[in-house]
Amino acid sequence: MSVSKQALEALIAPRRVAVVGATTRQEAAGNRVLLHAAGPRFTGTVVGVNPRYEEVEGRPCFASLEAMPDTPDCAIMVVADSRVEAAVEDAARAGVKGIVLLGRLYDPGHDNPSLSQRVSAIAREAGMAVCGANCMGLFNSIDDCRLSLGDVTGIDLPGRIALLSHSGSTWSGLGSNHRPVRFSVGVSMGNEVATGVPDYLNYLIERPETAAVAMVLESVRDGERFIGAIEAADKAGVPVVALKLGRSDLAREFALSHSGALAGDDRVYDAVFARHNVVRVDALDEMMD
Protein backbone atom coordinates (compact mmCIF):
# COMPACT_ATOMS: atom_id res chain seq x y z
CA MET A 1 0.00 0.00 0.00
CA SER A 2 1.56 3.27 -1.13
CA VAL A 3 1.47 6.56 0.75
CA SER A 4 -0.08 9.59 -0.95
CA LYS A 5 2.00 12.48 -2.21
CA GLN A 6 -0.10 14.81 -0.03
CA ALA A 7 0.82 12.86 3.11
CA LEU A 8 4.52 12.76 2.18
CA GLU A 9 4.46 16.50 1.52
CA ALA A 10 2.94 17.04 4.97
CA LEU A 11 5.70 14.92 6.53
CA ILE A 12 8.72 16.20 4.64
CA ALA A 13 7.74 19.80 3.80
CA PRO A 14 5.32 20.83 6.58
CA ARG A 15 4.21 24.41 7.09
CA ARG A 16 2.59 23.73 10.48
CA VAL A 17 4.48 21.53 12.94
CA ALA A 18 3.36 20.25 16.35
CA VAL A 19 5.76 18.84 18.95
CA VAL A 20 3.78 16.35 21.04
CA GLY A 21 5.43 16.15 24.43
CA ALA A 22 6.82 19.69 24.41
CA THR A 23 8.04 20.72 27.86
CA THR A 24 9.71 23.57 29.70
CA ARG A 25 12.27 21.16 31.21
CA GLN A 26 15.42 22.15 29.37
CA GLU A 27 17.12 18.77 29.76
CA ALA A 28 14.17 16.92 28.23
CA ALA A 29 13.89 15.73 24.63
CA GLY A 30 10.56 17.52 24.21
CA ASN A 31 12.28 20.82 24.90
CA ARG A 32 15.22 20.20 22.56
CA VAL A 33 13.01 19.10 19.69
CA LEU A 34 10.80 22.18 20.05
CA LEU A 35 13.79 24.53 20.10
CA HIS A 36 15.50 22.96 17.07
CA ALA A 37 12.44 22.29 14.88
CA ALA A 38 12.52 25.64 13.07
CA GLY A 39 15.73 27.00 11.61
CA PRO A 40 16.11 30.73 10.90
CA ARG A 41 14.84 30.32 7.31
CA PHE A 42 11.71 28.35 8.25
CA THR A 43 8.60 30.42 7.49
CA GLY A 44 6.02 28.05 8.96
CA THR A 45 4.78 27.66 12.53
CA VAL A 46 5.88 25.36 15.35
CA VAL A 47 3.70 24.76 18.40
CA GLY A 48 3.74 22.44 21.39
CA VAL A 49 1.23 19.85 22.53
CA ASN A 50 1.07 19.17 26.26
CA PRO A 51 -1.98 19.67 28.52
CA ARG A 52 0.28 21.00 31.29
CA TYR A 53 1.24 24.18 29.46
CA GLU A 54 -0.26 27.05 27.49
CA GLU A 55 3.16 28.17 26.26
CA VAL A 56 6.59 26.55 25.94
CA GLU A 57 9.72 28.48 24.95
CA GLY A 58 7.59 31.34 23.67
CA ARG A 59 5.47 29.10 21.47
CA PRO A 60 1.76 28.31 21.94
CA CYS A 61 1.04 24.94 23.53
CA PHE A 62 -2.23 23.04 23.24
CA ALA A 63 -3.82 20.25 25.24
CA SER A 64 -4.11 17.97 22.20
CA LEU A 65 -3.81 17.98 18.44
CA GLU A 66 -7.60 17.96 18.18
CA ALA A 67 -7.72 21.13 20.31
CA MET A 68 -5.63 23.13 17.84
CA PRO A 69 -7.50 25.74 15.77
CA ASP A 70 -5.43 24.87 12.68
CA THR A 71 -4.59 21.25 11.91
CA PRO A 72 -0.82 20.75 11.79
CA ASP A 73 0.70 19.15 8.73
CA CYS A 74 3.12 17.11 10.80
CA ALA A 75 3.41 16.05 14.44
CA ILE A 76 6.62 14.74 15.96
CA MET A 77 5.94 12.42 18.90
CA VAL A 78 8.33 13.01 21.79
CA VAL A 79 6.49 10.87 24.33
CA ALA A 80 7.02 7.55 26.08
CA ASP A 81 6.15 4.43 24.10
CA SER A 82 3.23 3.83 26.47
CA ARG A 83 1.64 7.08 25.23
CA VAL A 84 2.40 6.79 21.53
CA GLU A 85 -0.75 4.92 20.50
CA ALA A 86 -3.02 7.52 22.10
CA ALA A 87 -0.97 10.31 20.50
CA VAL A 88 -1.26 8.74 17.03
CA GLU A 89 -5.01 8.26 17.53
CA ASP A 90 -5.25 11.95 18.46
CA ALA A 91 -3.34 12.82 15.28
CA ALA A 92 -5.67 10.68 13.18
CA ARG A 93 -8.77 12.33 14.66
CA ALA A 94 -7.27 15.77 14.05
CA GLY A 95 -6.53 15.00 10.41
CA VAL A 96 -2.73 15.20 10.71
CA LYS A 97 -1.13 13.62 7.64
CA GLY A 98 2.52 13.35 8.70
CA ILE A 99 4.00 12.01 11.94
CA VAL A 100 7.50 11.32 13.21
CA LEU A 101 7.93 8.45 15.68
CA LEU A 102 11.26 8.57 17.49
CA GLY A 103 10.65 5.76 20.00
CA ARG A 104 11.13 2.01 19.62
CA LEU A 105 7.43 1.24 20.21
CA TYR A 106 8.35 -1.26 22.89
CA ASP A 107 5.24 -2.72 24.48
CA PRO A 108 6.02 -5.69 26.76
CA GLY A 109 3.21 -8.15 27.26
CA HIS A 110 1.14 -7.01 24.27
CA ASP A 111 2.46 -8.88 21.26
CA ASN A 112 -0.70 -9.73 19.34
CA PRO A 113 -1.06 -7.27 17.79
CA SER A 114 2.08 -5.45 18.85
CA LEU A 115 2.22 -1.72 19.51
CA SER A 116 4.03 -1.28 16.20
CA GLN A 117 1.26 -3.15 14.37
CA ARG A 118 -1.47 -1.14 16.10
CA VAL A 119 0.20 2.17 15.31
CA SER A 120 0.76 1.06 11.72
CA ALA A 121 -2.93 0.18 11.35
CA ILE A 122 -4.03 3.57 12.71
CA ALA A 123 -1.65 5.43 10.41
CA ARG A 124 -2.60 3.48 7.29
CA GLU A 125 -6.33 3.86 7.98
CA ALA A 126 -5.85 7.63 8.38
CA GLY A 127 -3.66 7.92 5.28
CA MET A 128 -0.64 9.18 7.20
CA ALA A 129 3.00 9.23 6.18
CA VAL A 130 5.13 8.05 9.10
CA CYS A 131 8.84 8.58 9.68
CA GLY A 132 10.03 5.80 12.01
CA ALA A 133 9.61 4.25 14.41
CA ASN A 134 12.99 3.85 16.13
CA CYS A 135 14.55 6.67 14.15
CA MET A 136 16.34 10.00 14.53
CA GLY A 137 13.75 11.95 12.54
CA LEU A 138 14.16 14.03 9.40
CA PHE A 139 15.38 17.37 8.12
CA ASN A 140 14.53 19.58 5.16
CA SER A 141 17.30 22.08 4.38
CA ILE A 142 15.27 23.76 1.65
CA ASP A 143 12.66 24.93 4.17
CA ASP A 144 15.05 24.81 7.17
CA CYS A 145 12.88 22.41 9.15
CA ARG A 146 14.45 19.90 11.57
CA LEU A 147 12.11 17.29 13.03
CA SER A 148 14.77 15.40 14.88
CA LEU A 149 15.99 14.33 18.28
CA GLY A 150 19.53 15.27 17.29
CA ASP A 151 20.77 18.67 16.17
CA VAL A 152 21.99 18.20 12.60
CA THR A 153 24.64 20.86 12.00
CA GLY A 154 25.30 20.56 8.28
CA ILE A 155 22.01 21.84 6.84
CA ASP A 156 22.39 25.60 7.24
CA LEU A 157 22.72 25.84 3.46
CA PRO A 158 20.25 24.09 1.14
CA GLY A 159 21.53 21.15 -0.87
CA ARG A 160 20.41 19.10 -3.86
CA ILE A 161 21.03 15.53 -2.67
CA ALA A 162 18.27 13.64 -0.88
CA LEU A 163 19.32 11.20 1.84
CA LEU A 164 17.46 8.07 2.96
CA SER A 165 19.01 6.04 5.76
CA HIS A 166 17.95 3.11 7.90
CA SER A 167 20.87 3.82 10.22
CA GLY A 168 20.20 6.77 12.51
CA SER A 169 23.85 7.28 13.38
CA THR A 170 24.80 7.30 9.69
CA TRP A 171 21.99 9.76 8.94
CA SER A 172 23.25 12.07 11.69
CA GLY A 173 26.88 11.78 10.62
CA LEU A 174 26.17 12.45 6.95
CA GLY A 175 23.81 15.32 7.74
CA SER A 176 26.49 16.95 9.89
CA ASN A 177 29.38 16.30 7.50
CA HIS A 178 32.04 18.98 6.97
CA ARG A 179 32.61 18.23 3.31
CA PRO A 180 31.16 20.42 0.55
CA VAL A 181 28.27 17.96 0.25
CA ARG A 182 24.85 19.38 1.07
CA PHE A 183 21.60 17.49 1.44
CA SER A 184 18.15 18.81 0.54
CA VAL A 185 16.16 16.31 2.58
CA GLY A 186 17.38 13.67 5.00
CA VAL A 187 15.12 10.94 6.36
CA SER A 188 16.12 8.53 9.13
CA MET A 189 13.62 5.83 8.17
CA GLY A 190 13.92 3.53 11.18
CA ASN A 191 11.51 0.60 11.21
CA GLU A 192 9.22 1.89 8.44
CA VAL A 193 6.00 1.08 10.31
CA ALA A 194 3.84 2.65 7.59
CA THR A 195 6.11 4.43 5.09
CA GLY A 196 9.04 2.80 3.32
CA VAL A 197 11.90 3.37 0.91
CA PRO A 198 9.71 3.19 -2.24
CA ASP A 199 7.34 5.85 -0.87
CA TYR A 200 10.15 8.25 -0.04
CA LEU A 201 12.05 7.62 -3.26
CA ASN A 202 9.02 8.10 -5.51
CA TYR A 203 8.25 11.37 -3.73
CA LEU A 204 11.79 12.74 -3.65
CA ILE A 205 12.58 12.21 -7.33
CA GLU A 206 9.65 14.50 -8.14
CA ARG A 207 10.94 17.35 -5.97
CA PRO A 208 12.55 19.94 -8.27
CA GLU A 209 15.70 20.38 -6.18
CA THR A 210 16.57 16.66 -6.12
CA ALA A 211 19.65 16.18 -8.29
CA ALA A 212 20.55 12.79 -6.77
CA VAL A 213 19.52 10.39 -4.01
CA ALA A 214 21.84 8.69 -1.52
CA MET A 215 20.50 5.60 0.26
CA VAL A 216 21.94 3.73 3.24
CA LEU A 217 19.96 0.49 3.42
CA GLU A 218 19.83 -2.33 5.93
CA SER A 219 17.02 -4.18 4.19
CA VAL A 220 14.18 -3.88 1.69
CA ARG A 221 10.68 -4.84 2.80
CA ASP A 222 8.76 -4.70 -0.48
CA GLY A 223 11.02 -5.80 -3.30
CA GLU A 224 8.52 -5.22 -6.11
CA ARG A 225 7.76 -1.63 -5.06
CA PHE A 226 11.44 -0.94 -4.39
CA ILE A 227 12.39 -2.04 -7.90
CA GLY A 228 9.58 0.11 -9.28
CA ALA A 229 10.90 3.14 -7.40
CA ILE A 230 14.52 2.81 -8.53
CA GLU A 231 13.28 2.19 -12.07
CA ALA A 232 11.27 5.44 -11.84
CA ALA A 233 14.38 7.28 -10.62
CA ASP A 234 16.37 5.89 -13.53
CA LYS A 235 13.72 6.98 -16.04
CA ALA A 236 13.55 10.43 -14.43
CA GLY A 237 17.31 10.82 -14.80
CA VAL A 238 17.89 11.10 -11.05
CA PRO A 239 21.09 9.23 -10.08
CA VAL A 240 20.81 6.92 -7.06
CA VAL A 241 23.81 5.88 -4.96
CA ALA A 242 23.29 3.04 -2.47
CA LEU A 243 25.29 1.71 0.44
CA LYS A 244 23.83 -1.67 1.36
CA LEU A 245 24.65 -2.70 4.90
CA GLY A 246 24.52 -6.30 6.05
CA ARG A 247 27.02 -8.07 3.79
CA SER A 248 28.59 -10.13 6.57
CA ASP A 249 26.67 -12.62 8.73
CA LEU A 250 27.10 -10.38 11.77
CA ALA A 251 25.94 -7.32 9.87
CA ARG A 252 22.89 -9.19 8.59
CA GLU A 253 21.95 -10.12 12.16
CA PHE A 254 22.26 -6.47 13.17
CA ALA A 255 20.17 -5.32 10.21
CA LEU A 256 17.43 -7.76 11.14
CA SER A 257 17.37 -6.71 14.80
CA HIS A 258 17.49 -3.00 13.99
CA SER A 259 15.14 -2.64 11.04
CA GLY A 260 12.87 -5.61 11.66
CA ALA A 261 13.27 -6.91 8.10
CA LEU A 262 15.50 -9.48 6.43
CA ALA A 263 18.72 -8.20 4.91
CA GLY A 264 18.32 -10.51 1.90
CA ASP A 265 20.74 -12.15 -0.54
CA ASP A 266 23.52 -9.73 -1.43
CA ARG A 267 23.77 -11.05 -4.99
CA VAL A 268 20.16 -10.07 -5.60
CA TYR A 269 20.93 -6.48 -4.65
CA ASP A 270 23.92 -6.46 -7.00
CA ALA A 271 21.76 -7.63 -9.89
CA VAL A 272 18.88 -5.24 -9.19
CA PHE A 273 21.15 -2.24 -8.71
CA ALA A 274 23.08 -2.98 -11.91
CA ARG A 275 19.92 -3.41 -13.96
CA HIS A 276 18.49 -0.06 -12.87
CA ASN A 277 21.73 1.97 -12.88
CA VAL A 278 21.99 2.34 -9.11
CA VAL A 279 25.60 3.03 -8.15
CA ARG A 280 26.53 0.67 -5.33
CA VAL A 281 29.28 1.73 -2.93
CA ASP A 282 30.96 -0.17 -0.12
CA ALA A 283 31.73 2.64 2.33
CA LEU A 284 30.49 6.05 3.42
CA ASP A 285 33.66 7.76 2.19
CA GLU A 286 33.06 6.30 -1.26
CA MET A 287 29.45 7.54 -1.16
CA MET A 288 30.50 11.07 -0.20
CA ASP A 289 33.09 11.14 -2.99
The CATH number of whichever domain residue 211 belongs to comes to 3.40.50.261
Whether residues 125 and 200 fall in one domain: no
Domains identified in the chain, total number:
2
Whether residues 74 and 92 fall in one domain: yes
Cis ω before 113 (30° cut-off from 0): yes
Whether residues 114 and 205 fall in one domain: no
Whether residues 222 and 255 fall in one domain: yes
CB atoms within 10 A of CB 151: 14
Whether residues 36 and 123 fall in one domain: yes
CB 72 within 8 A of CB 96: yes
Whether residues 180 and 260 fall in one domain: yes
Whether residues 161 and 38 fall in one domain: no
Whether residues 281 and 151 fall in one domain: yes
Residue 218 domain boundaries: 137-288
Query: Can you give the pLDDT of all 289 residues of the chain as single tens digits?
Result: 789 999 999 999 999 999 999 999 999 999 999 999 999 999 999 999 999 999 999 999 999 999 999 999 999 999 999 999 999 999 999 999 999 999 999 988 767 789 999 999 999 999 999 999 999 999 999 999 999 987 776 677 899 999 999 999 888 888 877 666 789 999 999 999 999 999 999 999 999 999 999 999 998 989 999 999 999 999 999 999 999 987 644 444 444 444 444 446 788 889 999 999 999 999 988 888 7
Report residue 220: phi and psi, to 5°. -130, 125
Whether residues 120 and 154 fall in one domain: no
